Amino acid sequence: MNAVLIALLVLPLLGAALTLAPVFGPDRAVADRRALRLNSVVTGAVFLVSVALAAGFDHGSPARMQATTDVSWIPALHVRFHLGVDGVSLPLIVLTALLTFLCALYSEKRLPGGEARDAAPDEHRPSGQAFVGLFLLLEVGMLATFAVLDLLLFFLAFEIVLIPMYFLIARWGSGAKTPAANRFILYTLLGSAVMLLGFLLIGSKAGTFDMQALAAAHGHGLSHTTQVIAALAIMVGLAVKAPAWPLHSWLPDAHTAAPTVGSVLLAGVLLKMGTYGLVRVLLPVVPDGTATLAPYLGAFAAVGIVYGSLACLALARPGSKGDLKRLIAYSSVGHMGFVLLGIASLTPVGVNGALFANIAHGLITGLLFFVVGALKDRYGTADLDTLSGATGAALYGRAPRIGALLAFAAVASLGLPGLAGFWGELLAMFGAFDPAAGLSRPAFVTYMVLAGLGTLLTAAYLLIVVKRVCMGDPAQPAPVDRLPDLRPYEAVSWTPLAALTLVAGLWPALLLGLSDPAVKHLLGGG
Amino acid sequence: MLAAHTAALGPHSTGQHTVTSLAVANPGSLIQSVDWVAIAPPLIAAVAALAVLVTDLFLPERHKKWLGRLAAAGLALALIALLPLTGWSPRATFCVRNVAAATDTPPVGGPAAAGCSYVADHFALVFQLLALGGALIAALLSMHTVEKERLPGGEYWFLLLSSATGAALLPASRDLATMVIALEVASLPAFALVALRRDGRGAEAALKFFVSSVTATAVMLLGIGFVYAASGSLHLGAVAQGLEHAPGQLKPLAEAGAVLTLVGFAFKVAAVPFHFWVPDTYTGAPLPVAGYLSVVGKAAGLSGLALATTVAFRPYAHTWGLALAVLAAVTMTVGNVGALRQRFDTRYSAVRLLAWSSVGQAGYLLVPLAAAGYAPTGADPLGATAAYALIYGVVNLGAFGVVAAVGRRAGTSVDDFRGLFARNRWTALAMAFFLLCLAGLPPGVIGLFGKVVVFRAAVDAGLGWLAVVMAVNVVVALYYYLLWTARLFTPADPAAVADGAGARLPVSLTATLGLTASAAVVLSVAPQLVLQVAGGSLF
């Protein structure tokens, strides 16, 4: 039993339960304010606990599971309440806690109200209490995904996030929010149901659902056919979540419709659950099956990189009515393609790069969605053509701080050396250049070339976006007259992301030192 | 039990040999020593039914509501009577020795149960818990309905208890004749219950239900006749033996008999293509009766189907295994597609949706049964069906309870649930929880694990294709459950708000919702409570 990791899950759960209790007073506005304050307090406490977890983590042996708890929960199904962190999951847990805390701070000042924010009468507005309850439940699911070490618990955690995210999109979103939310939940549920079948097959053949035991066995006792079938099922399930091309089509709609905090968490954390699952489950548990399927995963990843950047390029073109949030969503498809390519290489270099790119994408895209969400709030739309007008939105002139942050996030996203986006994608391509023994080198080199092409295209569209949004003539007629610059609460919730982007770019060993031993352990099975 | 008597008396009255053996040794083989503790649960329900009927005659009109309390108390007592049976090895009664002697290998029911007509093993106990518990919740639900719709109290409670008696007897019966009797005891009062609502719909629904059900029974009786002719016995274990050693020319007869018998049970489970009665019957019946049929009626059919297939027709395991797998796949698909096609704004759409969804759920319930046909160990996957049926029973009755609470007028539509959260947040939250449990998504954790055990049964048995079909169905079903859930939280029309605001729930409805919701929450925190059923063999 380890109290820290349990507290990490129990705190937000208690917070979510508290929102059901009638403790916020009868007045709507006051109750909402109190609930949102509670949200910040709870997520802040969770973040502190995660920092404590990181501080207490034995950095000398990140391959070892630490802060473990292992008690029987459902003996009939052999489900154990098994928690633990190692160098792979620790950064993701801290990232999750940080992003949720920042989102909670942000929403305290700017509760997303959906489209009816100003028009609807008070009682028709979705309540802050409900928002907080769902938000905290979402946090439970996200943290649990990275903390559990039992296949069925992993599946459970995977499913916990669906309902809160569904309602965040459907109730607090904008535009075609209900179809987007439906599409999101149906896609991901189909994926996770298929993944469950893979888990059950493994459990049926290996006799246990414990990830550590299965990883230690490293595929022994599972026939090649079983491994391939299980790997296929799990890979398809996780690829929906990641998302890998061609299973990504839920993502752009969900991002476009979601409120800002929903987009941030969706891109920053939920997508990582898919790639984390690939590293945590697929690589160590069914290594033979993964090796058989890795070239296909790599191919889909490479296509996804190019496809994502081309889609973004099309959206960034003047006159294409491109939505900025949609554009960033497509750019996520490209970035997650790098992560998948790194994993598919099955080398320590590639997988380390994938994990690094995971974190980097969480920081950078989180920041991008924050900034674009703020723009959408100010302009009332995220339509690139409306924003930029004839010459460009001229943020440098009209709101220089926001413009600078957007430009910063954009160049970080395109992989400028010295910022977080660089290392992960570079290492992923290195991994593809020299894939693990048994994988076809020419194929992976082709993927690497495609990925390289993707980085060029990425640079192209992001620079176009920066040009159209940040530059331009400040004097031209704009959709809104007054454009407030960075507000204090925005500064508070965005600065940590920008700072960490810089830190991770300048000092990659901070993350790689944690993940490398753990990755070698997972790949080697020793 | 009838069969036990005839079988016990048969050799005695016809054969000289038995008479002499009676004189010489072991006279106990002919004296029925009844294990009253073992048969207590259905017996108490039956006695309560008679007590209600008699009390009704002497009770003045203003005290009629005591009948409902009496019925509920009887069911609660019957549930308590299950307790002393739990810790023991299976208790059997109504046994005949000569059947036991004829079997050289112990049948699935265990050596003690070889020639017995009533066995209180874990399988029986779990399904009795479901039947009696479901009936109890339905009774709580009914108290308000009986009063509001002014249904005849004495008849209503008598019929409900009689039907529950049959449903509780069925899982414990171990010969085909007792099973048929139990099934009819469970069904016949149900027809009358459906007809109790005094409008055109009730009568039509009851007639539809009656005609199709009686046809199914007739078909089943014919099948049992064939099986008896081919195997020479009515006891399930002995039927299995007899079918295995049946002479070649009787094989077609035996197979036809098995198929016809299964058709009867498939009707009760509302498996496709015997599901057409479900939506009309549910909408025509009083709401608690619809809930009762969806859980207890289904449990009765399911337990009968499980016994007939896994015990009696064991030699044909691969045949019925495949047949049930196809049946399960078709049933869940048709049920979910039917539910998907429901329009939310029409009258009765809430009950109609629950009816179609119950057809879909019946498909899931059949999956482990089909898996039992493939499992080398025999009956192990049945635990998954039992566990899922228990979970489904709790949450489905809860959902019916909320429909009853929301339905200020007859024919509640799903759109009537708009804005329920604003009007009555706890009812809305309970409904959301029930629907998510039915869909199998957290926070409805227990629904999720219920699905997991069913999936596991399919995967373990190598029925990968069925698992994939079910996965797709779970996603399809999620769509309509989720649309309904979302309705609870969207703003209502101002008119509807004014209509239902401020009304307090009747105590019995509150009790029902409280009971089912807290049971679902407790099970979500500690799924082992119910999933232990799925841990090993039930027999």
CA distances from B337 to B39, B75, B451, B474, B480 (A): 41, 36, 19, 11, 10
CB A266 within 8 A of CB A255: yes
Query: Do A204 and B460 count as a contact with CB atoms less than 8 A apart?
Result: yes
Query: Do A141 and B442 count as a contact with CB atoms less than 8 A apart?
Result: yes
pLDDT of residue B151: 85
- pLDDT band, very low/low/confident/very high, at B225 (cuts 50, 70, 90): very high
Contacts (Cβ under 8 Å, ≥6 apart) of B502: none
Question: Looking at CA atoms only, how far is residue A39 from chain B in angstroms?
Answer: 19
> pLDDT by residue (tens digit) across A161-173?
999 999 999 988 8
The yes-or-no verdict on residue A117 having pLDDT over 70 is no
Mean pLDDT of chain B: 85
The yes-or-no verdict on residue B377 having pLDDT over 70 is no
- pLDDT band, very low/low/confident/very high, at B106 (cuts 50, 70, 90): very low
Give percent of chain A with pLDDT exceeding 70.
97
CB B130 within 8 A of CB B296: yes
The yes-or-no verdict on residue B294 having pLDDT over 90 is yes
> pLDDT by residue (tens digit) across A312-336?
999 998 888 889 999 999 999 999 9
Name which of B443, B491, B534 is nearest A124 (Cβ-Cβ): B491
Query: Do B452 and A152 count as a contact with CB atoms less than 8 A apart?
Result: yes
The yes-or-no verdict on residue A435 having pLDDT over 60 is yes
pLDDT of residue B348: 86
pLDDT of residue B17: 43
Once rounded to an integer, what is the mean pLDDT over residues B176-193? 92
Contacts (Cβ under 8 Å, ≥6 apart) of B77: B44, B48
DSSP designation for A120? S
Element (H, E) at A410: helix A400-413
The yes-or-no verdict on residue B332 having pLDDT over 70 is yes
Q: Per the structure block, which two tokens stand in for A449?
A: 């070339």
Question: Looking at CA atoms only, how far is residue B269 from chain A in angstroms?
Answer: 26
pLDDT of residue B412: 82
Residues in A closer than 8 angstroms to B453, CB to CB, are 76-77
Task: Give the number of other Cβ atoms within 10 Å of residue A252's Cβ.
Answer: 24
Quick one: closest CA in A to B426, which residue?
Answer: A20
Using alpha carbons, select from B374, B488, B485, B395 the residue that is nearest to residue B448. B395
The reply to whether B138 touches chain A by the CB within 8 Å rule is no
Residues in B closer than 8 angstroms to A182, CB to CB, are 479, 482
Residues in B closer than 8 angstroms to A189, CB to CB, are 441, 474-475, 478
Name which of B441, B445, B467 is nearest A162 (Cβ-Cβ): B441
Query: Do A166 and B452 count as a contact with CB atoms less than 8 A apart?
Result: no
> pLDDT by residue (tens digit) across B415-444?
888 888 888 888 999 999 999 999 999 888
CB B114 within 8 A of CB B103: yes
Phi-psi region of B504 (alpha: psi -120 to 50; beta: other; left: phi over 0): beta
Q: How far apart are CA B538 and CA B535, in angstroms?
A: 9
Residues in A closer than 8 angstroms to B448, CB to CB, are 156, 159
Residues in B closer than 8 angstroms to A203, CB to CB, are 456
The residues in B 45-104 lying below 8 A from A, measured between CB atoms, are none
Residues in A closer than 8 angstroms to B494, CB to CB, are none
CA angle B37, B95, B377 (to 5 degrees): 90
Quick one: closest CA in B to A158, which residue?
Answer: B442
Of A136 and B538, which is predicted with more confidence? A136
Would you list the domain boundaries of chain B?
2-534
Query: Do B534 and A77 count as a contact with CB atoms less than 8 A apart?
Result: yes
pLDDT of residue B502: 53
- pLDDT band, very low/low/confident/very high, at B535 (cuts 50, 70, 90): confident
CB B174 within 8 A of CB B234: no
Which runs of consecutive H residues, i.e. helices, occur in B149-175? 153-169
Least confident among A389-403, B212-226, B477-491: A389-403
Residues in B closer than 8 angstroms to A223, CB to CB, are none
Q: How far is CA B361 from the centre of its chain?
A: 12
Q: How far apart are CA B451 and CA B387, in angstroms?
A: 10
The yes-or-no verdict on residue A452 having pLDDT over 90 is yes
Mean pLDDT of chain A: 90
Question: Looking at CA atoms only, how far is residue B451 from chain A in angstroms?
Answer: 10
> pLDDT by residue (tens digit) across A262-317?
999 999 999 999 999 999 999 999 999 999 999 999 999 999 999 999 999 999 98
CA distances from A484 to A386, A406, A480 (A): 18, 15, 10
Cα of first residue to Cα of last residue in chain A, in angstroms, is: 25
Question: Looking at CA atoms only, how far is residue B174 from chain A in angstroms?
Answer: 27
Cα of first residue to Cα of last residue in chain B, in angstroms, is: 20
DSSP designation for A278? I
Name which of A124, A186, A204 is nearest B478 (Cβ-Cβ): A186
Query: Do A160 and B443 count as a contact with CB atoms less than 8 A apart?
Result: yes
Q: How far is CA B395 from the centre of its chain?
A: 14
CA distances from B314 to A366, B56, B122, B238, B252 (A): 59, 46, 19, 11, 16
Least confident among A130-144, A184-198, B141-155: B141-155
The reply to whether B159 touches chain A by the CB within 8 Å rule is no
Give percent of chain A with pLDDT exceeding 90.
66
Query: Do A204 and B452 count as a contact with CB atoms less than 8 A apart?
Result: no
CA distances from A247 to A256, A270, A300 (A): 17, 15, 10
Query: Do A74 and B531 count as a contact with CB atoms less than 8 A apart?
Result: yes
The reply to whether B467 touches chain A by the CB within 8 Å rule is yes
Of B199 and B356, which is predicted with more confidence? B356
Q: Provide residues of A within 8 Å CB-CB of chain B.
A: 20, 73-77, 120, 123-124, 126, 130, 137, 141, 152, 155-156, 159-160, 162-163, 166-167, 170-171, 178, 182, 185-186, 189-190, 193-194, 196-197, 200-201, 203-204, 229
Question: Looking at CA atoms only, how far is residue B262 from chain A in angstroms?
Answer: 29
The yes-or-no verdict on residue B16 having pLDDT over 80 is no
Query: Do B472 and A190 count as a contact with CB atoms less than 8 A apart?
Result: yes
> pLDDT by residue (tens digit) across A31-78?
888 899 999 999 999 999 999 999 999 988 888 888 899 999 988 888
CB A263 within 8 A of CB A255: yes
- pLDDT band, very low/low/confident/very high, at A100 (cuts 50, 70, 90): very high
- pLDDT band, very low/low/confident/very high, at A386 (cuts 50, 70, 90): confident
Quick one: closest CA in A to B523, which residue?
Answer: A74
| Phi/psi of residue B173, nearest 5 degrees | -80, 145
Once rounded to an integer, what is the mean pLDDT over residues A458-474? 90
pLDDT of residue A390: 78
Residues in A closer than 8 angstroms to B478, CB to CB, are 185-186, 189
Least confident among A104-118, B9-23, B158-172: B9-23
pLDDT of residue B103: 42
Name which of A156, A185, A201 is nearest B445 (Cβ-Cβ): A156
Using alpha carbons, select from B173, B72, B161, B184 the residue that is nearest to residue B121. B173
Query: Do B459 and A190 count as a contact with CB atoms less than 8 A apart?
Result: no
The yes-or-no verdict on residue A426 having pLDDT over 50 is yes
CB B396 within 8 A of CB B362: no
Q: How far apart are CA A99 and CA A101, in angstroms?
A: 5
Using alpha carbons, select from B244, B192, B184 the residue that is nearest to residue B213. B184
Residue whose tokens read 């109200």 = A113
How many residue contacts between A and B have a Cβ separation below 8 Å?
A: 96
